[in-house]
Amino acid sequence: MPALSRRERPAKPALTREGIVDAAVRLMESEGLQRVTMRRLAQELDTGAASLYVYVANAYELHAAILDRLLARVDLAPAPDWREGLHRVLRSYADLLFAHPSLARSALSLRPNGPNYLALVDTLLGLLAAGRVPAVQAAWGVDYLLQTATATAAEHAVDTKRDAEAEWQQLSDTLASASADDYPHLHQRAADLVSGTPSERSYWAVDMLINGIIATPTPH
């Protein structure tokens, strides 16, 4: 069968920033964020990489746009209690990153600025305001609440090439066998260092940050 001429081929959809981000999200979910390059995305969209730069400045901006798009999945529904609301939003945010390990690691340096990120920050500020947290302390505190949730997700992001449970057990064994003479404080608290479930430790960490935000005035 003869090949179709250019005139006979169906026209490609016009490129838009929304369409580019849609394709980037699909590519990330199927192949991982490391595969979402401008060149690979151009192949996916059957266009040239130069065409993408009209809508997205670089791969960093593209990855930030992917993160913002996925932030639409974070549970921002109203909560009857402001503190529990903070726990729920941050848990939903961390769960989103847990589900996308490559994105979790990159999120440590990404700075999304789209509507879903703005909605997330606005919700956190509203919950802190409901708890009568001073405004500037709340504004500074939101950054650290998100940083902590992001870092936790990145630390525990699943890597199929690693056995996280075996690594944790090895660490536990190493701590338990630490010499009391060489590491007296560590030896005494070895069990405490690895105690608690991940969910218990995450809940405690958020409460610790909330209490610290409330108790610690900013310098101005």
In CATH terms, 75-215 corresponds, of 3.30.70.20, 3.40.50.1100, 3.30.1490.190, 1.10.357.10, to 1.10.357.10
Looking at the chain, which residues constitute the CATH 1.10.357.10 domain(s)?
A: 75-215
Per mean pLDDT, which range of 58-72, 150-164, 166-180 is the poorest? 150-164
Looking at the chain, which residues constitute the CATH 1.10.10.60 domain(s)?
A: 17-56
What would the pLDDT profile of 161-172 be if each residue is shown by its tens digit? 567 778 888 999
Residue 158 predicted with pLDDT over 70:
no
Residues in the chain: 220
Per mean pLDDT, which range of 2-6, 173-177, 180-184, 216-220 is the poorest? 2-6
206 vs 105: which has the higher pLDDT: 206
What the block records as the tokens of 144 is: 């650290």
What would the pLDDT profile of 14-37 be if each residue is shown by its tens digit? 899 999 999 999 999 998 888 899
Give the phi and the psi of residue 38 in degrees, each rounded to 5.
-65, -40
Assign domain 17-56 to its CATH architecture.
Answer: Orthogonal Bundle (1.10)
Instruction: Please count the other Cβ atoms lying within 10 Å of the Cβ belonging to residue 142.
Output: 20
Residue 206 predicted with pLDDT over 70:
yes
Q: Are 100 and 31 in contact (CB under 8 A)?
A: no
- State the pLDDT at residue 9: 54
> Which percentage of the chain shows pLDDT scores above 70?
91
* C-alpha to C-alpha distances, 176 to 84, 94, 172, 190, 201, nearest whole angstrom: 35, 30, 6, 6, 20
* DSSP annotation of 46: T
What would the pLDDT profile of 92-118 be if each residue is shown by its tens digit? 999 999 888 888 888 888 888 899 999
As a whole number, mean pLDDT of residues 148-165 equals 76
Residue 160 predicted with pLDDT over 70:
no
* C-alpha to C-alpha distances, 140 to 90, 105, 116, 143, 220, nearest whole angstrom: 16, 23, 19, 6, 12
* DSSP annotation of 4: P
